[in-house]
A and B are shown apart, each in its own frame.
Chain A
Amino acid sequence: MTFRSAEIKAEDLPGGDGERYLLSGDWRGQTILSMLKEFQHLEQVRSRGRVEIDLSGIAGIDTAGAWLIRRLMTAKGEQGSEAVLIGGEGPIRELIGVLPEKAPAPPSDQGDKGTLFERLFAPTGKAMAELGSDFYAAMHILGSAVRGAQMKLGRGAGVSPASVVTHIDRMGVRAVPIIVLMSFLIGAIIAQQGAFQLRYFGAEIFVVDLVGILQLREIGVLLTAIMIAGRSGSAITAEIGSMKMREEIDALTVIGLNPVGVLIFPRLVALTVALPLLTIVANFAALTGAAVVAWAYSGITFDTYLSRLHEAIDHTSVASGMIKAPFMALSIGIVAAVEGMKVGGSAESLGQHVTTSVVKAIFVVILMDAVFAIFYSAIDF
């Protein structure tokens, strides 16, 4: 369907004591743009005496067009002239008739902006307060987790094992391929770089010490945790957030179930179990990768590699890495759950909180790693 563009023409009334506007074409949203400038000009120039708006040339109209005509009438009325409609079919006049004289006023934004000082420091204060409430929320969840999935009325001691197993499957078992691949490559890269540098000193064999200690103490658990923060932390936030959005969390509360117990606790348990196990898998994969590279680049045989590894690392190297895993798992889960609980009503806020959750979780994981490093060196572990 093609529309003609809207047109407006002004001419003086025969007696000279007024004006007549001739409207023609289609007055629709799609067709009014071309004459909008002219229209606004006519609307603003002061006219004297009587103003006649001739509708008889109008082929079709919609609310946008009718609203312009209505606005014109109001404007002319305010300028002191009397505006009347002439011609035009019933429906057109009726449509113009039902529109209000003035556009309904948007609510005036009387929000107090505050002084410069306030505007400068209010966001900082808000951020601090938010940090505080985040901390409380995290402690609440952690506390609930320590006490177990406390149901209302002290019903049921724990959590359904089926749920925990499902989550272990989703967060742990299904992450194995990507963790293995990633760690294998990381081990290989560290070994290759190390071998090149150590070659200058003729100490290529020490690449085994390098990879073994670095991987077991730091890299293995750290990268696995970062991977899980991205993979499962985001999933937890999205799941809990979309349940929050659709009032499912409220429904749980009303039914008498504790959302922390039903939703968050199994995920925390699953993460705490899965992450250490994944770390072990990652360590094996990385050491294998390193062995392959050491053999290919430096001609270190597997036998030599293993015996050197045996000398280089002891149980403390393994333990110091593994101890960190459950703590990191807990903090990933808690950060993700807190962010999930903060999701508001919109899809946008869901996206925002998922992003925040991943960023915060990775940050917390790295921070914890640093704290552990200081701690270990202090106690000479």
Chain B
Amino acid sequence: MEKGLEAVKQEGEVNADGRQVVLSVRDVTVGFGSQLVLDHLNLDVYRGEILGFVGASGTGKSVLMRTVLGLLPHRSGTIEILGVDYDNASEEERMLVDMRLGVLFQHGALFSALTVKENIQLPMREYLDLPQSLMDELAYLKVEMVGLSPDAADKYPSELSGGMIKRAALARALALDPDLVFLDEPTSGLDPIGAADFDALIAKLRDTLGLTVYMVTHDLDSLFSVCDRIAVLGQKRVLVEGTLEDMFACDDPWVQSYFRGKRARSVVAHEKQPTAEVEKT
């Protein structure tokens, strides 16, 4: 990975602490008609981190994600992904960027006419020139990676459960080993054990593949266990961003009730327990 760094360096500005910015959102305003959803919003995502993005329902988390991906127009500001200004990029530059992005949409967005395996192979077919047998192996590998059983690979999306759809969609998002993945509520609708596995999987992929993860989530467990940094969306902009400590220190009422509410406290207590036990022994 280190060797690639030279090449990668030009791909995004490096900020003061020497961390490389893979996604930079500056001054972005998005609205529908007269309703303003995002107002001069700023956000940075650094290479190799898992950013948890939280906010009340309907504050515009999905809208921001869609704007960053170029699916919604923005009224002002600039968005730079992997060092490319998406709005002013040529067709070819965009394609190169698209190839390095993986997206898990909130509702899966699997292609209903294709099986899970074909869904995963679609981006491979588009961008890689590999023999079918190898693509099959890779597809089954991804299916296993996200914790699905091989016989799910030949099912159609309408034959999958909600959680399986999430996993299959993640497998498709990871098909090309992207540098930056966007996950919109990956663990909603999963059972707690499945959700914890999912979090562990994300962390493992980050460590092995060097992924950068932008994760919209409402799941306190994910926030506490895998996210390196958290950003809170509220009042049409990013209210706070930083580590968990920063969240606790923040005096915004919504952030306070989110991170210090009853549910959060029980999760925190639970997370802390094992370490306390280790200290005792």
Classify the interface of chain B: helix, strand, loop or mixed: helix
Assess whether B154 is in contact with A91, with CB atoms less than 8 Å apart: no
Q: Which residues of B contact A32 (CB under 8 A)?
A: 130
A60 to B137, CA, bound (A): 21
Assess whether A347 is in contact with B113, with CB atoms less than 8 Å apart: yes
Q: Does B1 contact A (CB under 8 A)?
A: yes
Q: Bits for A1-25, please: 1 = Cβ < 8 Å to B, else 0.
A: 1000000000000000000000000
Assess whether B112 is in contact with A347, with CB atoms less than 8 Å apart: yes
Q: Does A64 contact B (CB under 8 A)?
A: yes
Q: Bits for A81-93, please: 1 = Cβ < 8 Å to B, else 0.
A: 0000000010110
Stretch at the interface among A101-109, A201-209, A284-292: A101-109
Q: Which residues of B contact A374 (CB under 8 A)?
A: none
- Known pairs A60-B4, A63-B209; list 10 more (Cβ under 8 Å): A1-B96, A30-B127, A36-B130, A103-B140, A104-B143, A105-B150, A106-B154, A345-B112, A347-B112, A347-B113
Assess whether A64 is in contact with B128, with CB atoms less than 8 Å apart: yes
Partner of A106, one of B124, B150, B176: B150
Q: Which residues of A contact B208 (CB under 8 A)?
A: 91, 94-95, 98
Assess whether A346 is in contact with B112, with CB atoms less than 8 Å apart: yes
A100 to B137, CA, bound (A): 11
Q: Does B11 contact A (CB under 8 A)?
A: yes
Nearest Cβ on chain A to B162's Cβ, whole angstroms: 12
Assess whether A95 is in contact with B209, with CB atoms less than 8 Å apart: yes
CB-based nearest A residue for B110: A346
Assess whether B128 is in contact with A100, with CB atoms less than 8 Å apart: no
CB-based nearest A residue for B96: A1
Count A interface residues, CB 8 Å.
34
Within 8 A of A (CB), among B197-248: 204, 207-210
Within 8 A of B (CB), among A100-144: 100, 103-107
Which are the 7 A-B pairs with shortest beta-carbon distances?
A345-B158, A348-B113, A346-B112, A62-B177, A107-B151, A103-B137, A29-B128
Q: Which residues of A contact B272 (CB under 8 A)?
A: none
Assess whether B210 is in contact with A91, with CB atoms less than 8 Å apart: yes
Nearest Cβ on chain B to A278's Cβ, whole angstroms: 35
Q: Which residues of B contact A346 (CB under 8 A)?
A: 112-113, 156-158
Nearest Cβ on chain A to B167's Cβ, whole angstroms: 14
Interface size class of B (residues with CB under 8 A): 35 or more
Q: Does B7 contact A (CB under 8 A)?
A: yes
Q: Which residues of B contact A251 (CB under 8 A)?
A: none
Q: Which residues of B contact A60 (CB under 8 A)?
A: 1, 3-4
A107 to B149, CA, bound (A): 9
Q: Does B153 contact A (CB under 8 A)?
A: yes
Partner of B158, one of A36, A99, A100, A344: A344
Assess whether B124 is in contact with A67, with CB atoms less than 8 Å apart: no
Q: Which residues of A contact B204 (CB under 8 A)?
A: 98
Assess whether B113 is in contact with A36, with CB atoms less than 8 Å apart: no
Q: Does A165 contact B (CB under 8 A)?
A: no
A94 to B153, CA, bound (A): 26
CB-based nearest B residue for A66: B208
Q: Bits for B120-162, please: 1 = Cβ < 8 Å to A, else 0.
A: 0000100111110010111011111100001101101111000
Q: Does B2 contact A (CB under 8 A)?
A: yes
Q: Does A277 contact B (CB under 8 A)?
A: no
CB-based nearest B residue for A93: B208
Nearest Cβ on chain B to A33's Cβ, whole angstroms: 5
